[in-house]
């Protein structure tokens, strides 16, 4: 698999420009000729490999006849993309910081996220003490800041304006995994019920009775956008990687679809979680 650290705003901007050009019916080489730039430059702009200047974006919009709204949106993305740091290695502490910043930007611009979790509750759904127990167990340094950052990421699914549609597919075993003390797990399960009641949040459990599923191969995070192609984020102990190639992403989309076919409905999942809480209280 080919993993890279993309620039999120540049990636989304490129998709917006490509979509506008395709809707106009103008071929890539024809647009390049009108703008008097090389074909390869336009290719890099549309792929998000290179950030066009604000003047170049304005010129493209003028040729394509883009609306003022579309033009302003692309200019805003161009300014933000120009301020993005260049990609760096995904391994080690500096790389972890860059990867997290990239993930945060992708989360903010995504329209739909599917989070497949195998061993613990996904980060976007974690309760404070649950997150603290996990982070302290892994690396205690700056734990409080890392917990606050993890909890702050949930804003993308709880914000009032245009929240991301979020779907969590969680292995049933993760709901029984002892994290922290018994009270910590109960707090976490209650939060799952609360968040799952939101219209834009789906929490679905993969039952033990389903047997082996692609989820058992490991966690993955699928981000989808209004116009840009999907991106997959994979995380491990000391770093993470983004997958963008069409074949790699397609494999994870198929895995997502297969897991969804065997996962319980939201209502049945909530009933299961409620039962786990009731049994824990009675114990």
The model's pLDDT over 192-242, given as tens digits with 9 standing for 90+, comes to 999 999 999 999 999 999 999 999 999 999 999 998 999 999 987 667 889
Same domain, 73 and 125: no
Q: How far apart are CA 282 and CA 266, in angstroms?
A: 24
Average pLDDT (44-70) is 90
Q: Are residues 17 and 151 in the same domain?
A: no
Which of 263, 213, 212, 255 lies closest to 232 in space, CA to CA? Answer: 255
Domain endpoint, select from 66, 83, 100: 83
Query: Do 77 and 118 share a domain, yes or no?
Result: no
Residue pair 53/17 in contact (Cβ under 8 Å)? The answer is no
**99, 73: one domain:** no
Give the number of other Cβ atoms within 10 Å of residue 101's Cβ: 14
Domain holding 109: CATH number?
A: 3.30.870
pLDDT of residue 80: 83
**Same domain as 226, residue 97:** yes
Which of 63, 83, 103 terminates a domain? The answer is 83
CA-based radius of gyration for the chain: 21
pLDDT single digits (tens) 130-143: 999 998 765 666 77
User: Look-up: residue for tokens 């950052």?
Assistant: 149
- The answer on 133 and 215 residing in a single domain is yes
Residue 17 burial (CB count, 10 A): 27
Residues 99 and 139 in one domain: yes
When divided into structural domains, the chain yields a total of 2
Give residue 197's pLDDT.
Answer: 96
107 and 12 assigned to the same domain: no
DSSP code at position 145: H
Tell me the mean pLDDT in the region 35-53: 89
Name, in order, each residue with C-beta under 8 angstroms of 226's C-beta and a sequence gap of 6 or more. Answer: 111
112 and 215 inside one domain: yes
- CA–CA distances in Å: residue 32 to residues 28, 52, 56, 70: 6, 13, 11, 20
pLDDT of residue 12: 86
Q: Please check whether residues 57 and 128 belong to one and the same domain.
A: no
| CATH code where residue 8 lies | 1.10.260.40
Decide: residue 210, CB within 10 A, 0-12 exposed, 13-18 middle, 19+ buried: middle
User: Do 252 and 127 belong together in one domain?
Assistant: yes
pLDDT tens sequence across 92-128: 444 456 677 788 889 988 999 999 999 999 999 999 9
pLDDT at residue 2 tops 60: no
Q: Give pTM, 2 decimals.
A: 0.80
Domain extent, residue 194, equals 92-282
Mean pLDDT of 30-57: 90
Among residues 35, 54, 83, which one ends one of the domains? 83
């Amino acid at each position: 698999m080919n993993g890279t650290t993309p620039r999120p705003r540049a990636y989304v901007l490129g998709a917006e420009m490509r979509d506008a050009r395709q809707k106009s019916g103008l071929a890539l080489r024809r647009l390049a000729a009108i703008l008097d730039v090389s074909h390869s430059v336009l290719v890099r702009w549309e792929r998000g490999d290179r950030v066009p200047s604000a003047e170049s974006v304005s010129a493209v919009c003028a040729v394509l006849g883009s609306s003022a709204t579309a033009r302003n949106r692309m200019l805003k993305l161009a300014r933000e993309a120009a301020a993005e740091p260049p990609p760096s290695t995904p391994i080690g502490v500096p790389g972890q910081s860059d990867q997290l910043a990239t993930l945060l930007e992708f989360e903010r611009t995504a329209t739909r996220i599917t989070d497949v979790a195998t061993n613990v509750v996904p980060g976007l759904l974690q309760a404070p003490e649950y997150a603290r127990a996990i982070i302290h167990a892994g690396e205690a340094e700056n734990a409080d800041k890392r917990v606050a950052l993890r909890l702050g990421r949930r804003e993308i699914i709880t914000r009032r304006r245009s929240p991301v549609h979020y779907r969590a597919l969680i292995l049933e075993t993760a709901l029984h995994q002892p994290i922290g003390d018994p009270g910590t797990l109960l707090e976490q399960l209650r939060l799952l019920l609360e968040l799952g009641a939101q219209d834009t949040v789906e929490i679905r459990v993969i039952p033990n009775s389903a047997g082996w599923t692609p989820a058992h191969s490991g966690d993955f995070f699928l981000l989808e956008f209004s116009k840009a192609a999907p991106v997959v984020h994979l995380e491990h102990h000391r770093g993470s990687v983004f997958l963008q190639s069409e074949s790699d992403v397609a494999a994870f989309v198929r895995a997502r679809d297969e897991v969804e076919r065997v996962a319980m409905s939201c209502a049945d999942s909530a009933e299961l979680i409620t039962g786990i809480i009731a049994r824990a209280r009675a114990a």
